[in-house]
């Protein structure tokens, strides 16, 4: 990670310090590795990527539910 990315990650962390609910889940180490690589490629935290994926899944689920 270069210094520009580190600064961006620092400010993203500060901006995300909220009262959001916390969820813990377990997964295969390889899945975590792949998710972390995906998050890194988008300059996101792993937590932020997981939240985005869950939001998209809920929207999709709500569209399928009559």
Please tell me the total count of domains within the chain: 1
Q: Is 43 left (phi over 0), alpha (psi -120 to 50) or beta?
A: left
Per-residue tens of pLDDT for the chain, all 66 residues: 667 777 777 667 666 566 888 899 999 999 999 999 999 999 999 999 999 999 999 999 999 977
Q: Report pLDDT for 6.
A: 74
**Residue 18 belongs to some domain of the structure:** no
Q: Report pLDDT for 15.
A: 60
- How deeply is 65 buried, as exposed, middle or buried, from its count of CB atoms within 10 A (0-12, 13-18, 19+)? exposed
**Residue 64 belongs to some domain of the structure:** yes
**Residue 24 belongs to some domain of the structure:** no
Q: Report pLDDT for 4.
A: 76
Q: Which domain holds residue 40?
A: 30-66
């Amino acid at each position: 990670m270069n210094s520009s990315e580190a600064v961006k990650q620092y400010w993203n962390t500060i901006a995300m310090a909220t009262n959001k609910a916390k969820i813990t889940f377990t997964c295969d180490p390889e899945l975590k590795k792949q998710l972390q690589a995906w998050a890194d490629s988008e300059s996101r935290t792993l937590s932020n990527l997981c939240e985005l994926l869950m939001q998209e899944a809920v929207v999709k689920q709500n569209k399928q539910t009559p």
